[in-house]
């Protein structure tokens, strides 16, 4: 087999950004040409972006994608390029890869299996192609082969598995490609980021190259493409079971090209990151892309001094730190679109001060410790910090309702009401600050509290984007301790000294989150089984009774509380601000777990649980 140079290019694309998407593809081709690459593969649906959703169902959108392909073809002189796009044939839309060789279209490979689990709804948009079938597609007045195809280049026989195609076990296209004796399989993907997922992909790529005794090259999309899903831009090459090359993930660059000679010599292999490092890299990149693609001028955050809001403040700080390191100071400022004239010797803190505005909104129930925690953290990262109290507004609301109903509100009879009015009162004024700044308001709810509705609708759930809503609180608490030591964030020491509390009851009532709910470590175990694995209350108990050192009666109480609060609070989850998908599962009803707003609330199942 001749030793030729191949490459894969990852892209940070955006739906409906036709010119930008095409320019980034052209930039990738130009980089590949400069490296004397002969075959270049882009990710799945790279012309349109994977996150185009119901635009794929229209007639005009796939047709517009073909016009973009027509513009791209003449640009591909002296190189073979594989690029992803949707193609409509009559009433069906196919997810395809177009292969262009030396400025001539050679044909289209169509995806055979649709991703339909978790965040994926591909059957809504695309029709799977049948194995071994080929047709002729008319394009620009000529007919081209379309379907299950392979190609040749200088003695190299190559084919494609498109993302989900590779995850279908014994029925995947790779076996048929192996029967056809291909030398190289490309896997152009749009595989969403989740912590720990890179390990699974590495196993897939290496095992695939061994099973099919070929070169196997994987390439993924990059960045926060359309709002919720983040792509990590992973590129890998393996040969006969050995990983030859792997790039660094979650880049701030719009285009990355990684080239390889088809030989078994190993290149640099970037090690798999820890879950803590993956989280900060993905979430900070997600914020960066969300900021610039929404054309906003910064972020506003109600900084309580607690774990959730402090985590988000650190993520913004890390966004600036990592962006400057990778893009350079000038390029980072240009890409964010902010206007700033740097004055001191710490540009990172100056930029954070320009991008992030925080406010501590205290009440008579707030402690000096949380105020100090918020103030010290904001100061340490350079964020703008305001401080005001909202007791006057709370009292005004309370007096009005007391007059209307003819009685005083008390903590003994109106606990939830008195807690919620504080959280809700914080929302209008922080929204004002976001509007004044033309900024995004960052919501601070996490997944554990979303599970059980331990959030105030139109209070701490208010926001333009909810960066940590897909991450459990137990992870966040441990991550903050890790971040203080490993991210050089000394401002976190005040946060990490506190016990999580909503601080909505009078201080003498000693409110803590875990006292209100249950230990966060237990919530994690219950939600994994109940939500991720979709187990019944009885199954959850039987499994956890063996795994956790808890009194059976206490454990049953926790499980009962979880399922009751879960089913009661679906309406809240339907209204949460958009969130990033960061973990292996989430409670977002649009992108992972659909649940009825009205239900019987597991009444029979919980009665059966008590009988175990």
User: Mapped to the 3 state alphabet, what secondary structure does 223-289 carry?
Assistant: EECCCCCEEECCEEEEECCEEEEECCCCCCCCEEEEEEECCCCCCCECCCCCHHHHHHHHHHHHHHH
Region 168-186: mean pLDDT is 96
Q: What pLDDT score was predicted for residue 505?
A: 67
Q: What is the mean pLDDT of the chain?
A: 94
How far is Cα 434 from Cα 440, in angstroms, rounded to an integer? 6
Looking at residue 395, its pLDDT comes to 95
**Closest among 312, 338, 268, 251 to 464, alpha carbons compared:** 312
Residue 507 φ/ψ, nearest 5 degrees: -55, -35
pLDDT band at 517 (very low <50, low <70, confident <90, very high): confident
Strand 235-239 to 242-246 pairing: antiparallel
Report, as an integer, the average pLDDT of 8-34.
Answer: 98
Give strand pairing partners of 152.
157
Confidence bin at 590 (pLDDT 50/70/90): confident
| CA atoms of 289 and 64, how far apart (whole Å) | 25
pLDDT at res. 97? 98
| Contact (CB, 8 A) for 85 and 44 | no
pTM for the complete prediction?
A: 0.94
SS3 (DSSP) at 400: helix
Can you name the CATH fold of 277-610?
Rossmann fold (3.40.50)
> For position 452, what pLDDT does the model report?
92
Say whether pLDDT at 537 is over 80. yes
* Element (DSSP H or E) covering residue 206: helix 197-211
How confident is the model at residue 500, as a pLDDT?
Answer: 74
Helix (H, G, I), strand (E, B) or coil at 13: coil
Looking at residue 217, its pLDDT comes to 98
Phi, psi of 299 (to 5 degrees): -125, 150
- Which pLDDT value is given to residue 365? 87
Quick check: 512 pLDDT over 80?
no
Domain parsing of the chain, residue ranges: 5-272, 277-610
Question: What is the structure's pLDDT at 509?
Answer: 63
Tell me the CB-side half-sphere exposure of residue 566, using CA atoms within 13 A.
27
361 φ/ψ angles, rounded to the nearest 5 degrees: -110, 90
Specify the pLDDT at position 94: 98
Class assignment of domain 5-272? alpha beta
pLDDT of residue 301: 97
pLDDT tens-place string over residues 348-367: 999 999 999 999 999 998 88
**By mean pLDDT, which of 281-285, 337-341, 501-505, 572-576 is the weakest?**
501-505
pLDDT score at 200: 96
Q: What three-state secondary structure class fits 339?
A: coil
User: In whole angstroms, how far apart are CA 299 and each of 185, 231, 253, 491?
Assistant: 43, 22, 22, 19
Give the contacts of 515 (CB within 8 A, at least 6 positions apart): none
pLDDT at position 315 is 98
Q: How many residues does the chain have?
A: 612
- Looking at the predicted structure, is the pLDDT value of residue 26 above 90? yes
Mean pLDDT within 437-446: 95
Q: What percent of the chain has pLDDT over 70?
A: 98
pLDDT above 90: residue 460:
no
In whole angstroms, give the CA distance from residue 321 to residue 318: 5
Q: Give the C-alpha separation, 472 to 533, whole Å.
A: 16
186, 42 contact by CB (below 8 A) = no
């Amino acid at each position: 087999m001749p030793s030729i140079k191949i490459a894969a290019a990852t892209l940070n694309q955006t739906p409906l950004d036709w010119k930008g998407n095409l320019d980034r593809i052209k930039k990738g081709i130009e980089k590949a040409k400069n490296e004397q690459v002969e075959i270049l593969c882009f990710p799945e649906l790279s012309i349109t972006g994977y996150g185009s959703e119901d635009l794929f169902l229209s007639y005009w959108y796939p047709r517009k994608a073909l016009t973009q392909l027509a513009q791209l073809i003449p640009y591909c002189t002296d190189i073979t390029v594989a690029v992803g796009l949707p193609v409509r044939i009559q009433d069906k839309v196919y997810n395809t890869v177009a292969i262009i060789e030396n400025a001539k279209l050679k044909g289209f490979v169509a995806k055979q299996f649709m991703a339909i689990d978790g965040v994926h709804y591909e059957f809504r948009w695309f029709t799977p192609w049948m194995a071994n079938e080929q047709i002729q597609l008319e394009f620009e007045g000529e007919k081209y082969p379309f379907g299950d195809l392979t190609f040749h280049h200088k003695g190299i026989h190559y084919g494609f598995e498109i993302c989900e195609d590779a995850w279908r076990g014994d029925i995947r296209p790779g076996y048929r490609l192996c029967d056809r004796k291909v030398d190289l399989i490309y896997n152009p993907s749009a595989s969403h980021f989740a912590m720990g997922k890179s390990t699974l992909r590495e196993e897939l790529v290496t095992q695939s190259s061994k099973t099919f005794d070929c070169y196997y090259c994987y390439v993924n999309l990059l960045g926060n493409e359309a709002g919720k899903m983040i792509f990590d831009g992973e590129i890998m090459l393996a040969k006969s079971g050995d990983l030859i090359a792997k790039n660094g993930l979650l880049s701030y660059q719009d285009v990355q090209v990684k080239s390889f000679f088809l030989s078994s010599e190993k290149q640099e292999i970037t090690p798999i990151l820890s879950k803590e490092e993956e989280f900060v890299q993905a979430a900070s990149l997600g914020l960066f892309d969300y900021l610039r693609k929404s054309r906003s001028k910064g972020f506003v955050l109600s900084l309580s001094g607690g774990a959730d809001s402090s985590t988000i403040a650190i993520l913004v700080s890390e966004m600036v730190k990592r962006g400057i390191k990778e893009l350079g100071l000038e390029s980072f400022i240009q890409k964010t679109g902010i206007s700033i004239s740097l004055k001191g010797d710490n540009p990172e803190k100056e930029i954070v001060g320009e991008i992030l505005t925080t406010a501590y909104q205290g009440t008579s129930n707030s402690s000096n410790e949380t105020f100090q925690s918020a103030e010290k953290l904001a100061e340490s990262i350079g964020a703008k910090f305001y401080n005001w109290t909202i007791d006057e507004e709370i009292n005004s609301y309370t007096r009005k309702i007391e007059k209307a109903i003819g009685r005083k509100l008390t903590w003994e009879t109106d606990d939830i009401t008195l807690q919620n009015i504080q959280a809700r009162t914080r929302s209008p004024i922080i929204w004002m600050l976001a509007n004044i700044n033309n900024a995004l308001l960052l919501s601070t709810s996490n997944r554990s509290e979303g599970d059980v509705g331990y959030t105030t609708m139109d209070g701490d759930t208010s926001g333009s984007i909810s960066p940590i809503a897909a991450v459990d609180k137990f992870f966040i608490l441990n991550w903050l301790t890790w971040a203080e030591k490993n991210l050089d964030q000394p401002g976190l020491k005040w946060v990490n000294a506190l016990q999580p509390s909503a601080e909505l009851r009078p201080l003498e009532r000693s409110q803590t989150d875990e006292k209100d709910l249950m230990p966060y470590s237990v919530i994690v175990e219950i939600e994994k089984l109940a939500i991720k694995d979709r187990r019944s209350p009885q199954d959850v108990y039987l499994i956890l009774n063996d795994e956790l050192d808890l009194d059976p009666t206490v454990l049953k109480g926790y499980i009962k509380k979880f399922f009751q609060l879960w089913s009661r609070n679906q309406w809240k989850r339907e209204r949460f601000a958009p969130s990033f998908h960061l973990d292996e599962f989430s409670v977002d009803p649009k992108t992972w777990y659909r649940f009825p707003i009205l239900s019987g609330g597991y009444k029979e199942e919980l009665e059966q649980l008590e009988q175990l």
